[in-house]
Amino acid sequence: MTAGADTATRDALASRLAFATVGLPTVGTVAAVVYSAFYGITVTDIALFLVMYLTTALGVEAGLHRYFTHRSFTATEPVKVFLGVAGSMAAQGPIVFWVANHRLHHAYADTERDPHSPRPLGPGLRGRIKGLWHGHMGWLFEVKTTDWSRHCRDWLSDRRVMKINQHYFTLVLLGILLPGLVGWLVTMSVHGLIGGVLWGGFARIFALDHATWAVNSIGHTWGAREFNTRDGSRNIGLLAPPTVGGSWHNNHHARPVLALTRRHWWQLDIAGDFIRILSRLRLVSNVKYVDTSTRR
């Protein structure tokens, strides 16, 4: 098989996986709502949703984003594994996929080579809507794998990270079944098992997916711009809680390497606070903080 054919095969596989990434959590969320309408939603269901959401959101924002993509701090091996596993359970793609596409995003932000720029795709309102759709999740169906290895060579040589990457689908399944197992152990009932799988698994993936994707779409369309960056990145305060601080997107694009997106005391940055706690526990080091003396 030629290199071009091999790349085309990978691109086609990535597109098919996008249907599963978008479709299964959506179906599962509808099932969660319907099931709860008939049988009720319990405190255990809500608790499992929140715990799994926070765990995987930190895996995405502190892990896949700030650690694996931007190398904003140095992690001990246990922390590296936790962030890799938690990020994988979010079901937003293997580590290499996430890192390569996000590094491409920063390298070519809001240009034709940006994987998920919400730039208008045509004239008028229809073009703007098509652009938003593409930036939000349409890009997943058009993923190109050509530049992946060039943009994540640092992790391709890390055997532990590649092991986590290799077991991505197992970890996604773990993230769905684990809350079901906990729900069954807590309630000793089938209802607890089903509720855990539906709410702590599928609905949690659906909610975190769309919170993360909203930073790609809305975060490059509407919101405040504190820094004059070369792209259209924006800050969206309302999205700060569900993105654990990832929605201070203009702050982030101004200084991508920083471990915190907060630039003012009132800006909620749960992932940044999590990294600070890990630093105080000496579980991470070389944390890159903002230098206020050179703040732009």
Four-CA torsion 87, 91, 95, 101, nearest 10 degrees: -120
Q: Write down the pLDDT at residue 232.
A: 94
HSE, side-chain direction, 13 A CA sphere, residue 250 = 22
Q: Distance (Å, rounded) from C-alpha 154 to C-alpha 95?
A: 12
Q: Write down the pLDDT at residue 244.
A: 98
Mean pLDDT (the chain, rounded): 92
223-280 pLDDT, tens digit each: 999 999 999 999 999 999 999 999 999 999 999 999 999 999 999 999 999 999 999 9
pLDDT at 69 over 50: yes
pLDDT at 11 over 70: no
pLDDT at 7 over 90: no
Structure tokens at 129: 């809507």
Beta bridge partners of 285: 74
By mean pLDDT, which of 1-15, 123-137, 147-161, 170-184 is the weakest? 1-15
Q: Are residues 25 and 205 in contact, defined by beta-carbon separation less than 8 angstroms? A: yes
Q: Distance (Å, rounded) from C-alpha 212 to C-alpha 209?
A: 5
What's the Cα-to-Cα distance from 115 to each of 27, 76, 125, 141, 242, rounded to whole Å? 26, 31, 21, 11, 23
Better-predicted residue by pLDDT, 17 or 22: 22
Q: Write down the pLDDT at residue 269.
A: 98
Instruction: Say if strands 284-285 and 74-75 run parallel, antiparallel, or are unpaired.
Output: antiparallel
Q: Write down the pLDDT at residue 21.
A: 83
Structure tokens at 108: 């070519």
102-147 pLDDT, tens digit each: 999 999 999 988 989 999 888 899 999 999 999 999 998 887 766 6
The reported pTM is 0.93
Better-predicted residue by pLDDT, 292 or 38: 38
**Taking residues 74-93, what's their average pLDDT?**
97
